[in-house]
Amino acid sequence: MAHIDILAIESSCDETAAAVVRDGREVLSNVIYTQIAMHTVYGGVVPELASRAHIEKINYVVQKALDDAGKTLDDIDAVAVTYGPGLVGALLVGVAEAKAIAWAADKPLIGVHHIEGHICANYIEHPDLKPPYLGLIVSGGHTHLIIVEDWAKFRILGRTVDDAAGEAFDKVARAIGLGYPGGPKIDKVSKEGNPNAIVFPKAKVNGSEYNFSFSGLKSAVLNYLNHAQMTGEEVNKADLAASFQKSVVDVLCEHTVQAAKEYHITEVALAGGVASNSALRAGLAEACEKNGLNLSVPSPVYCTDNAAMIGVAAFHEYEAGTRSGWDLNAVPNLKLGER
Ligand code: KG4
Ligand code: ZN
């Protein structure tokens, strides 16, 4: 059988990435140029700077992805690109690049949803995973609990009503002086802390079974810090970080297990930047084990933004007949399941 090799491009936030993926499973190359060092100085992603850095690096990153895979554009069957959600200026760089390449090389163009890409990252290392299954996507911009009903069909059970989980990690890290990006730093410092030292509120939403709310938890952490400052109490950063992290992990695990029971689903897949969090990986693995659920988690390099996951999602869209027109545009607020 002839293979389908897809050149995929991702530039929705602060990673300029390109990859070549074969048949939606095999990563032939995966090049990521991260802008984290540049944004760290400002304590977060500066959209204008992100767009400019993407435009500088994108040709190099795409060429390297082709070279690493030992491919030329002639060998490629389609060009895929993240067209939303994300930062509009950042997305536009990838979209314009993909359109130019697809047009010049006379290849089909496939616009991919960023969140669909995150969940599809699981297919790379879990060849047996197939729909239907439950997907928990936790990243810097999104927190979604979904049922993947078919390869390119999703039903949203719950989402965050305010901050995304990763955003909460980043904000709490900033408040305790750990810097950007906060997720990996909280993860690390938590290893020295007691997760039961401080009881923070659960990130639940009253009256809504599967939605999440992280802004109340974030405020509780800030209030705790303010109170300690006013009373001159010493704050144990490791305990605070570990307790905050536990609150986030607990609610993510509880919602997932509850949904698996309600919908009689035994397969669960975790995805998104926060999926590289060690406490979440361990906590969800334990919760799944206890409840007879089978869990897939991508390697950390496929959790944070990358183009390999976009190439995997694009393969399934390609098989479903999805083709984008030359008028493909960036859609910063693209909803999952919309085109
Ligand atoms: O998926 P991603 O790379 O970008 C978005 O699509 O948003 O996720 C980035 C988010 C950031 O908020 C970062 O702090 C968080 O993922 N993150 C982590 C860890 N590694 C990255 N959060 C908790 N623990 C980690 N180890
Ligand atoms: Zn992402």
Instruction: Reply yes or no on whether the pLDDT at 33 is more than 90.
Output: yes
Give the model's pLDDT for residue 208: 80
Mean pLDDT to the nearest integer, 305-310: 98
Pocket test for ligand 1, best of 139, 143, 309 (most atoms within 8 A of CB): 139
Return mean pLDDT, the chain.
96
What are the angstrom distances between the C-alpha of 163 and each of 140, 187, 225? 9, 19, 19
Give the model's pLDDT for residue 43: 87
Of 41 and 65, more confident: 65
Domain 5-120+306-319: give its CATH architecture: 2-Layer Sandwich (3.30)
Mean pLDDT to the nearest integer, 257-268: 98
Residues of the chain with CATH 3.30.420.40: 5-120+306-319, 131-300
Cis peptide upstream of residue 181 (ω within 30 degrees of 0): yes
For the segment 84-98, what is each residue's pLDDT rounded down to a tens digit?
999 999 999 999 999
Q: What band does 35 get if pLDDT is binned at 50, 70 and 90?
A: very high
Phi/psi for 115 (5° steps) reads: -70, -35
Mean pLDDT to the nearest integer, 61-81: 98
For the segment 215-245, what is each residue's pLDDT rounded down to a tens digit?
999 999 999 999 999 999 999 999 999 999 9
Contact 283 CB / ligand 1 (< 6 Å):
no
Q: What band does 337 get if pLDDT is binned at 50, 70 and 90?
A: confident
Contact 11 CB / ligand 1 (< 6 Å):
no
Instruction: Reply yes or no on whether the pLDDT at 1 is more than 80.
Output: no
What are the angstrom distances between the C-alpha of 164 and each of 158, 159, 215, 218, 306? 12, 9, 9, 11, 19
Contact 139 CB / ligand 1 (< 6 Å):
yes
- Residue 142 Cα to ligand 2 midpoint, Å, equals 8
Atom of ligand 1 nearest to the CA of 245: 23
Ligand nearest to the CA of 189: 1
Pocket test for ligand 1, best of 113, 302, 304, 310 (most atoms within 8 A of CB): 304
Q: Which helix (H) or strand (E) holds 31?
A: strand 26-34
Pocket test for ligand 1, best of 274, 277, 336 (most atoms within 8 A of CB): 274
Contact 166 CB / ligand 1 (< 6 Å):
yes
Q: What percent of the chain shows pLDDT beyond 70?
A: 100
Determine which residue's CA is closest to atom 1 belonging to ligand 1.
273
Mean pLDDT to the nearest integer, 300-324: 97
Give the model's pLDDT for residue 152: 86
Ligand nearest to the CA of 282: 1
Phi/psi for 15 (5° steps) reads: -125, 130
Determine which residue's CA is closest to atom 22 belonging to ligand 1.
183
Give the model's pLDDT for residue 204: 80
Phi/psi for 236 (5° steps) reads: -85, 105
Give the model's pLDDT for residue 203: 82
Contact 304 CB / ligand 1 (< 6 Å):
yes
Question: What's the CATH number for 131-300?
Answer: 3.30.420.40
Instruction: Reply yes or no on whether the pLDDT at 206 is more than 80.
Output: no
Give the model's pLDDT for residue 278: 97
Contact 181 CB / ligand 1 (< 6 Å):
yes
Instruction: Tell me the chain's radius of gyration from C-alpha atoms.
Output: 20
Contact 5 CB / ligand 1 (< 6 Å):
no
Q: Tell me the whole-structure pTM to 2 decimals.
A: 0.95
Give the model's pLDDT for residue 339: 80
